[in-house]
């Protein structure tokens, strides 16, 4: 009996792609700390640094993985994930017992293990000072990255303030990043690593009880990054910088909480930063600074944001003012700010409703939501979330008729399949679906006729195709087929053909043949898969019609036409075509 992991080498190759799989094979022998758990595999793999890898068996999807290397951090199944997967497969093969005629008892159910992270902190707390020092020396010797971080902390703890300041400035000097007055996107990754190192320096300052220096250093760094951002002319060339910049904001907040700087200048800095070039991409939220600013600081920040908003209504200043009102906890003032610029589709009304609901004022919240629906009237672009939020509140209060009224109005405004389904659910809850269904179908018929005469109904898209989708959703295939004439798109025609193949094979055959024709000009795996699928369906129609010989002639002609496409020929052979 062999041990089963739930994935194979082919699964690893599919997840990583041929290039990363090939590179991962070279690293498989270097995997260390392999820990195979119930559906999860963890290990480390050396590279420029020592990277941590976690694989998760994903059932039919094979295997998923996460690695903290730069390529893995972007969501890719990297070579380190491949290496760990291969190492796990090889270990399970080597651990498998020799074949035996003796019956092997069924394996015992896996015992749930406590989370490994939950074990770590209590164990570290149980060690005395000497044991902790010995552990750090041992681990830093085995992990160059950890050793470098500890050395950096030691250097920063002993360095004078000017030396630390100069080090941060050298790291954030744009240097190679900016050439000829613009930012070179190819250098952004290297610069991001320098920003990360600057963050490490600032964390070391906090650990050394020099949080005030870390506050100043973080503010200078964010100002410098604002210059880089403006030089780049936007965010599209600086994606690599976003995570370390957000780390920089986080370390600034942590330093502020440790150093407790004067609230007034902190308020001025925070407003200036959030209204500056990188404010909107750093993830800073005034609510997080509530304990640092205190009531006086929050008031000062709100005054500054209000002045900026009055000079230039809308944009960053408007959002910042709303954030600061939320931080102050003044719900009525926040609602008054929202109410100065209500979106016509009801989206702002929903924001107000949610703020009131969170404040425990459910009645006021529902009233604002209802005002939003009335303001949107029969607009086809009424805010979807507003409709859902309001109907959910009606259902919760037992006001099913009110929910049905909203759903009916939305269907009349949009005439979409989704609004039809929502209307059906609401009407069934009220026990009146048959009447509603008849009226809804009549409306779609009228809209289809209006559109066929050249009439335009804003926001309703293609009423004839919506009618086809609705009839299919209702299971009325023959009626959908009649409605589809001259209106349905290829997706709908294929669905119709599949669903009427058994009882209307001639009509289905006509659809399949029509859809096959343009595919003859296409190449590639996706096109070949679709050709094969259609040919199987065409064969089924001919068998149902008793014209199997005609299909044989058709298939022979097609194979002769495409004999120079070996991948397609192989696929047809595999499917018995």
Could you report the per-residue pLDDT of 54-64, keeping only the tens digit for each? 888 766 657 88
Instruction: Report helix, strand or coil for 17.
Output: coil
Give the torsion sign (CA, 44, 47, 51, 55): negative
Q: Are 96 and 3 in contact (CB under 8 A)?
A: yes
Give the count of beta carbons closer than 10 Å to the beta carbon of residue 37: 12
What average pLDDT score do residues 422-449 get? 89
When pLDDT is cut at 50, 70 and 90, the band that residue 307 belongs to is very high
Mean pLDDT of 119-148: 78
Question: Minimum mean pLDDT among 255-259, 263-267, 481-485: which range?
Answer: 481-485
Mean pLDDT of 436-442: 90
- Can you give the pLDDT at residue 422? 92
pLDDT band at 451; cut points 50, 70, 90: low
pLDDT for 112 equals 40
Among 77-86, 87-96, 338-347, 533-542, the minimum mean pLDDT is found in: 87-96
pLDDT in tens, 150-180: 776 777 767 777 887 888 888 877 665 665 5
Please check the confidence at residue 107 and state whether its pLDDT lies above 50: no
Gap between the Cα atoms of 306 and 317, Å rounded: 7
- Alpha-carbon span 37 to 1, nearest angstrom: 19
| Phi, psi dihedrals of residue 236, rounded to the nearest 5° | -65, -25
Residue 120: the pLDDT is 74
At 392 the pLDDT is 93
- pLDDT at residue number 103: 36
Q: Three-state SS across 139-198?
A: HHHHCHHHHHHHHHHHHHHHCCHHHHHHHHHHHCCCHHHEECCEECHHHHHHHHHHHHHH
Looking at the chain, the whole-number percentage of residues with pLDDT higher than 90 is 38
Instruction: State which H helix or E strand residue 43 sits in.
Output: strand 40-46
Task: Reply yes or no on whether the pLDDT at 513 is more than 80.
Answer: yes
When pLDDT is cut at 50, 70 and 90, the band that residue 287 belongs to is confident
Contact of 81 with 24, CB cutoff 8 Å: yes
pLDDT for position 76: 81
DSSP reduced 3-state for 521: coil
Of the two residues 383 and 14, the one the predictor is more confident about is 383
d(CA 252, CA 437): 59
Mean pLDDT, residues 241-265 taken together: 90
> What pTM value is reported for the model?
0.61
Query: Model confidence over 345-369: pLDDT tens digits?
Result: 999 999 999 999 999 999 999 999 9
Q: How confident is the model at residue 32 (pLDDT cuts 50, 70, 90)?
A: confident
524, pLDDT greater than 90: no
Q: Would you mind telling me the total number of residues written for the chain in this entry?
A: 577
Report residue 427's pLDDT band, with 50, 70 and 90 as the boundaries. very high
Pick from 496, 489, 567, 494: which is nearest to 534 by CA? 494
- Confidence class of residue 186 from pLDDT cuts 50, 70 and 90? low
User: Residue 381 contacts by C-beta under 8 Å, 6 or more apart in sequence?
Assistant: 345, 459
Share of the chain above pLDDT 70, in %: 86
Contact 460, 420 (CB under 8 A): no
Contact 85, 55 (CB under 8 A): yes
Q: Answer whether residue 1 shows pLDDT above 50.
A: no
User: In this structure, what are the phi and psi dihedrals at residue 544, rounded to the nearest 5 degrees?
Assistant: -65, -35
Structure tokens at 507: 């009509």
What is the rounded average pLDDT of the residues 443-464? 69
Which carries the bigger pLDDT value, residue 74 or residue 135?
A: 135
Asked if 373 contacts 382 with a C-beta cutoff of 8 angstroms, the reply is yes
Indicate if the pLDDT at residue 534 is higher than 60.
yes
Check the CA dihedral 418-423-429-435 and report its sign. negative
Q: The tokens of 496 are what?
A: 């119709």
Residue 294 confidence class, pLDDT cut points 50, 70, 90: very high
The overall average pLDDT reported for the chain is: 83
Average of per-residue pLDDT across 261-267: 94
**348, burial (CB in 10 Å: exposed 0-12, middle 13-18, buried 19+):** buried
Give the pLDDT confidence score for residue 181 in this predicted structure.
56
Close Cβ partners of 92 (under 8 Å, ≥ 6 residues apart): 2, 3, 4, 5, 36
The DSSP-derived string for 331-369 is HHHHHHHHHTS--TTSHHHHHHHHHHHHTT-HHHHHHHH
Q: Which of 105-109, 131-135, 479-483 has the lowest mean pLDDT?
A: 105-109
In this prediction, residue 15 has a pLDDT band, given cuts at 50, 70 and 90, of confident
């Amino acid at each position: 009996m062999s041990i089963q992991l739930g994935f194979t080498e082919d699964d690893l190759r599919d997840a990583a792609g041929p290039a990363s799989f090939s590179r991962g094979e070279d690293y498989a022998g270097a995997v260390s700390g392999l820990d195979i758990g119930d559906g999860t595999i963890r290990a480390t793999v050396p590279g420029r640094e020592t990277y941590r890898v976690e694989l998760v068996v994903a059932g039919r999807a094979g295997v998923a993985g996460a690695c903290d290397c730069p390529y893995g951090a972007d969501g890719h199944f990297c070579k380190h994930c491949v290496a760990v997967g291969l190492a796990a497969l090889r270990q399970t093969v080597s651990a498998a017992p020799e074949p035996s005629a003796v019956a092997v008892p069924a394996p015992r159910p896996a015992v749930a293990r406590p989370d490994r992270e939950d074990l770590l902190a209590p164990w570290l707390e149980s060690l005395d000072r000497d044991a902790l020092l010995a552990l750090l020396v041992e681990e830093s010797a085995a992990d160059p990255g950890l050793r470098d971080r500890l050395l950096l902390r030691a250097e920063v703890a002993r360095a004078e303030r000017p030396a630390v300041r100069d080090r941060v400035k050298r790291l954030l000097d744009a240097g190679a990043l900016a050439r000829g007055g613009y930012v070179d996107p190819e250098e952004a990754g290297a610069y991001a690593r320098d920003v990360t190192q600057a963050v490490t320096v600032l964390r070391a300052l906090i650990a050394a009880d020099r949080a005030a220096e870390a506050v100043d250093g973080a503010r200078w760094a964010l100002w410098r990054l604002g210059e880089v951002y403006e030089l780049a002319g936007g965010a599209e060339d600086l994606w690599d910088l976003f995570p370390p910049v957000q780390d920089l904001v986080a370390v600034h907040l942590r330093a502020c909480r440790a150093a407790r700087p004067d609230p007034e200048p902190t308020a001025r800095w925070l407003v200036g930063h959030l209204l500056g070039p990188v404010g909107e991409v750093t993830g800073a939220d005034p609510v997080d600074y509530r304990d640092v600013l205190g009531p006086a600081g929050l008031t000062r920040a709100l005054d500054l944001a209000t002045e900026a908003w009055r000079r230039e209504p809308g944009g960053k200043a408007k959002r910042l003012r709303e954030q600061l009102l939320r931080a102050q906890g003044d719900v009525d003032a926040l609602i008054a700010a929202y109410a100065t610029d209500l979106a016509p589709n009801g989206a702002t009304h929903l924001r107000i409703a949610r703020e009131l609901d969170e404040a425990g004022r459910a009645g006021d919240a529902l009233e604002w939501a209802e005002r939003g629906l009335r303001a949107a009237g029969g607009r086809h672009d009424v805010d979807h979330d507003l409709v859902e939020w309001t109907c959910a509140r009606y259902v919760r209060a037992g006001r099913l008729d009110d929910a049905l009224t909203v759903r009916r109005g939305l269907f009349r405004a949009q005439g979409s399949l989704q609004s039809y389904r929502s209307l059906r659910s609401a009407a069934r809850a009220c026990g009146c679906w048959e009447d509603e269904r008849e009226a809804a179908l009549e409306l779609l018929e009228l809209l289809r006729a209006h559109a066929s005469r050249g009439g335009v109904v804003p926001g309703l898209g293609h009423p004839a195709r919506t009618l086809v989708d609705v009839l299919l959703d209702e299971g009325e295939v023959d009626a959908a087929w009649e409605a589809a004439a001259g209106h349905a798109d290829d997706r709908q025609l294929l669905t119709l053909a599949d669903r009427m193949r058994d009882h209307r094979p001639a009509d289905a055959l006509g659809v399949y043949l029509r859809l096959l024709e343009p595919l003859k000009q296409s190449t590639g795996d996706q096109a070949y898969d679709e050709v094969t699928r259609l040919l199987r369906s065409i064969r089924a129609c001919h068998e149902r019609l008793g014209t199997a010989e005609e299909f044989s002639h058709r298939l022979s002609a097609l194979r002769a036409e495409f004999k120079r496409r070996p991948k397609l020929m192989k696929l047809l052979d595999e499917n018995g075509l």
